[in-house]
């Protein structure tokens, strides 16, 4: 009886186009049922960036974060260093830049008898050590001070005076239904940022707003050993 045996030589080139507008290509090679090699390259179109800021009332320096102009929308914000006046741009659709990641895999089998085998594997991720930006800081207001905005209404002023004893038209979350009714309706974010509920004047714009926050993971290598019996 002859022992079972499988020999092959192969080269494969594969191009895959996905519905999410990302694509991947794979190059693999195998020889004599012993060594496998694979190179995988992925190109990503980036993720949507969303502007948010704190609204309602402070808690340890902040409030509850709100997508200012809708999910996946971005606004440019600048602050005059002398006067503190804040200028707000128009909403735009913005994504992080395209980037490429290439991963390499290599494995080798040693077979013993009919059923035993040892398999060594080496997998290298991001072999070209690309360092593309994958996210930017999306929070407008600084996290190092009590910064937040709050819409205003006469109903919130009545609650603030009658229940809490202070005169303010700002809608804080503890004002209950009038506050949430105000949050659910459009309000002028530019005007509120220049007359914030936290200070009465311009809030402090986050110096890291719009700057790189996360990057591609650096090159790393994983070693593996598998024994089959």
Distance CA 39, CA 193 (A): 50
Whether residues 124 and 219 fall in one domain: yes
Looking from the CA of 189 toward its CB, the CA atoms found within 13 Å total 25
Please give the pLDDT value at position 193: 92
The domain tally of the chain equals 2
Whether residues 151 and 58 fall in one domain: yes
pLDDT in tens, the chain (229 residues): 334 333 444 444 444 444 444 444 444 443 434 566 777 777 777 788 899 888 876 544 446 788 888 888 999 999 999 999 999 999 999 988 888 888 888 888 888 777 888 888 899 999 999 999 989 999 998 877 778 888 999 999 999 999 999 999 989 888 999 998 998 888 899 999 999 887 888 989 999 999 998 999 999 999 999 898 8
Distance CA 171, CA 152 (A): 5
Please give the pLDDT value at position 7: 43
Q: Which range of residues forms the domain containing residue 108?
A: 9-46+97-134+215-228
Distance CA 71, CA 180 (A): 20
Q: Indicate the pTM of the whole model.
A: 0.70
Please give the pLDDT value at position 57: 67
Would you say how long the chain is, in residues? 229
- Domain for residue 3, yes or no? no
Whether residues 89 and 104 fall in one domain: no
Whether residues 89 and 160 fall in one domain: yes
Q: 3-state DSSP call for residue 112? A: strand
Whether residues 148 and 167 fall in one domain: yes
User: 48: which DSSP letter?
Assistant: B
């Amino acid at each position: 009886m002859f022992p079972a045996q499988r020999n092959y030589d192969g080269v494969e080139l594969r191009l895959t186009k996905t519905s999410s507008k990302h694509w991947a290509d794979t190059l693999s090679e195998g020889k004599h049922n012993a060594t496998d090699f694979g190179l995988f390259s992925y190109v990503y179109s980036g993720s949507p960036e969303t502007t948010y800021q704190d609204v309602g009332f402070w808690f340890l320096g902040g409030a509850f974060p709100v997508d200012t102009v809708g999910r996946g929308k971005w606004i440019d914000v600048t602050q005059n260093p002398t006067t503190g006046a804040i200028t707000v741009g128009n909403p735009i659709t913005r994504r992080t830049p395209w980037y490429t990641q290439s991963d390499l895999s290599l494995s080798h089998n040693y077979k013993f008898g009919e059923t035993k085998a040892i398999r060594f594997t080496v997998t290298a991720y991001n072999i070209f050590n690309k360092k593309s930006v994958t996210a930017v800081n999306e929070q407008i207001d600084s996290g190092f001070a009590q910064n937040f905005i709050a819409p205003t209404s006469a109903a919130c002023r009545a609650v603030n005076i009658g229940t809490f004893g202070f005169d303010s038209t700002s809608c804080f979350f503890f004002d209950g239904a009038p506050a949430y009714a105000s949050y659910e309706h459009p309000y002028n974010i530019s005007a509120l940022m220049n007359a914030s509920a936290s200070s009465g004047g311009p809030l402090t714009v986050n110096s890291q707003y719009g700057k790189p926050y996360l990057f591609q993971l650096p090159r790393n290598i994983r070693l593996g050993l598998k024994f089959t019996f």
